[in-house]
Structure 1
Amino acid sequence: MTGIGQLAAQPLRAKRHGERSPTSIVFLVALWGALAFAVLCLMVLLVDSFLDGATRLDADLFTRYTSQVFPEKAGARAAIIGSAFVIAVTAILAIPLGIAAGVYLEEFADARRGYNKLIEVNISNLAAVPAIIYGMLTAGFALAIGLERRVVLAGGIALALLILPVVIIATREAIRSVPQEIRHGSLALGATPLQTVWRQTLPGAVPGIATGSILALSRALGEAAPLLLLGGLVFVNYDPDGLMSGFTTLPIQIFNWASQPQQAFQEVASAAIILMLVLLLIMNALAIVIRNRYQNRW
């Protein structure tokens, strides 16, 4: 007991060498300084974009097509509709497949099997792969099956591959949050494993799945690299009318306008940036509302 009392009386090492140590203070100051600098740069860019694009946040931005002759009248109608088409295809392709894969890996797959371990490792790695790699993969796939690269379907496939690992991981995390007691109770009452997943586990995991899926789609909305590699059009004066139609999206259109030397193009690019930021904020706010409103408190 004497030895235990002496150990208890000694101050903890973390207390003596924690946040008050010179090294910790220097690191903390550097960390907050880097964060403040990043936020300051972001605020400067946002303010600059707003000041340049505020005058172009009018009806022409939503109703007119882009123009190389009259940049002051250029609009983003084709890009807005094209983004809606591509994101819809992305959601249809990625979300059901991602949820099904997540459910299988979490509820039915045998973790001791070598191929299941390989799948899990690949999913974790694919979530960190640069977006342009998915564009290259889709371009090769389109070439192999004879699909035109500059169409809505190809763009949707590329973005679906991009967000698929994110949807799978979000689904697995949401399913893990459902208590095991609910599964055990359902199985004890005579339900099959599939019925338990369909009627108990998935409904309880819906808020987490929906939140992860919306955030994944918001990431896809802001991607331009894979679509540019696929040959996404930068000058479109028509609305896409199907899966095999040519398209452009807001990030591609912004990239095109920002690369032009005329001040009018810079202004409309800033207006389109503001529009895209508003859309991203709405999608992120929707994800937060769904999580807070429908998340179960077990």
Structure 2
Amino acid sequence: MAINQTSRAADEQLSSSQRIKRALSHGKQGRISKNTSNKVMLGVFRVAAAITTLVLVAIIAYVVINGLPHISPDFIFGWPHGVNAEGGIWPTIVSTVYVTALAMLICTPIAVLAAVYLAEYAKQGRLVGIIRYAADALASVPSIVMGLFGYALFVEAMGFGLSMFSAALALALLMLPIIMRTTEEAIRAVPRYIRWGAYGLGATKWQVVSRIVLPSAFGRIATGIVLGIGRAIGETAVVLYTMGQAINLPITPMDSGRPMTVHLYLLANDGINMNAAYGTALLLMIIILAFNLFARHLSRKSK
């Protein structure tokens, strides 16, 4: 017992570099030299990165080759006709932007306030751990499960029907853990000495949070919001069960609509107009890519 306590005390006195050297010296000596093993693993990493990049490029190229010839102003700004498989997709674009903006307005205040509570006010303990675990579990819920839950709760139980509001509430639940966890990490990344300087000048806790911490973390918070919006735009099952499939321009939040993802699913599933399906997929991919690039721009700007 005394020997173990002595070894622990000695370990605590070692610096981080000394601990690393000690761990490496006590490790098993491999049969392959360090340079050879490093080159092998570097090659494995490069191959994995190349495969990932090639798969992404192949998907993008396939969609662009098949969808670009069918992109035109009439296709973007026109209305569907026939069995909603011909013509343009303007109502679906409006429905997509409408429901995504509404979901963002619902989700962002709740997620940001929850993140501020976890990072600044809550005592780090079991309750905070449970909240973080619940957020991580919510982020891993399949979209179809969230769609069925939204249908049972918002459409049936609460009586909102197949509407933009029901779909926005369901999408807000999907966006919530992304924005909350990103905001919490952004707030924790703000240096402590900034808070100490504000406290030293007589600022209150809320003044420090609202005027110092949140403005300093705004870039990363905005990045999380944009990433959440990008995921909401690409969801199909959630809006399919909560918004409906009506081809119309929604005016009020209680109106139904058909987002681009549902329109693409119906066109591809029925196979009635694959050209329009490829064109819709290309526009949807461009929108999601634009949001991701905007998020990267905000992240770099904040750094």
State if a TM-score over 0.5 links the two structures: yes
Letter of the aligned partner of 1:138 in structure 2?
A: G
Hey, what does 2:58 align to over in structure 1? Answer: 44
Query: 1: CA distance between counterparts of 2:190 and 2:267?
Result: 47
**Aligned-pair identity (%):** 27
SS of residue in 1 equivalent to 2:217 = helix
Query: 2: CA distance between counterparts of 1:62 and 1:129?
Result: 33
Hey, what does 1:20 align to over in structure 2? Answer: 36
Query: 1: CA distance between counterparts of 2:295 and 2:216?
Result: 16
Q: How big is the shift at 1:121?
A: 1.6
Instruction: Indicate which of 261, 266, 277 corresponds to 1:256.
Output: 266
Instruction: Indicate which of 77, 80, 91 corresponds to 1:66.
Output: 80
Tell me whether 175-184 or 133-142 shows the greater mean CA deviation. Answer: 133-142
> Residue deviations 1:90-134, cap 9 Å, x none?
11011111001000110001113x333211221122222212222
**Contact 2:150–2:241 (Cα < 8 Å) also in 1:** no
**1:213/1:138 Cα in 2 relative to 1: closer, same or farther (>3 Å)?**
same
1:289 matches 2:303 = no
Instruction: Indicate which of 237, 250, 253 corresponds to 1:243.
Output: 253
**1:67/1:259 Cα in 2 relative to 1: closer, same or farther (>3 Å)?**
farther
1:146 matches 2:159 = yes
Give matches, 1:25-174, under 5 Å: 25=40, 32-33=46-47, 35-69=49-83, 71=85, 73-112=86-125, 114-142=126-154, 143-148=156-161, 150-174=162-186
**Contact 2:167–2:243 (Cα < 8 Å) also in 1:** no
What count of residue pairs does the alignment treat as equivalent? 280
Segments of structure 2 that go 5 or more residues without pairing to the other structure are: 1-20
**Contact 2:99–2:165 (Cα < 8 Å) also in 1:** yes
**1:43/1:102 Cα in 2 relative to 1: closer, same or farther (>3 Å)?**
same
Tell me whether 283-292 or 44-53 shows the greater mean CA deviation. Answer: 44-53
**Contact 1:49–1:274 (Cα < 8 Å) also in 2:** yes
Q: How big is the shift at 1:14?
A: 7.4
> Residue deviations 1:231-267, cap 9 Å, x none?
631x51x2111100011111111111112334xx111
SS of residue in 2 equivalent to 1:20 = helix
Instruction: Indicate which of 215, 226, 240 corresponds to 1:228.
Output: 240
**1:120/1:41 Cα in 2 relative to 1: closer, same or farther (>3 Å)?**
closer
**1:258/1:189 Cα in 2 relative to 1: closer, same or farther (>3 Å)?**
same
Please report the RMSD computed on the Cα atoms of aligned residues, expressed in angstroms: 2.7
Query: 1: CA distance between counterparts of 2:43 and 2:32?
Result: 19
Tell me whether 153-162 or 49-58 shows the greater mean CA deviation. Answer: 49-58
Q: How big is the shift at 1:67?
A: 3.0
Query: 1: CA distance between counterparts of 2:84 and 2:55?
Result: 32
**1:82/1:14 Cα in 2 relative to 1: closer, same or farther (>3 Å)?**
farther
> Residue deviations 1:258-297, cap 9 Å, x none?
12334xx11111111111111112111222222222x25x
Give matches, 1:184-199, under 5 Å: 184-199=196-211
> Residue deviations 1:9-64, cap 9 Å, x none?
x8984795556249x83x76666545544443433332232222222211122222
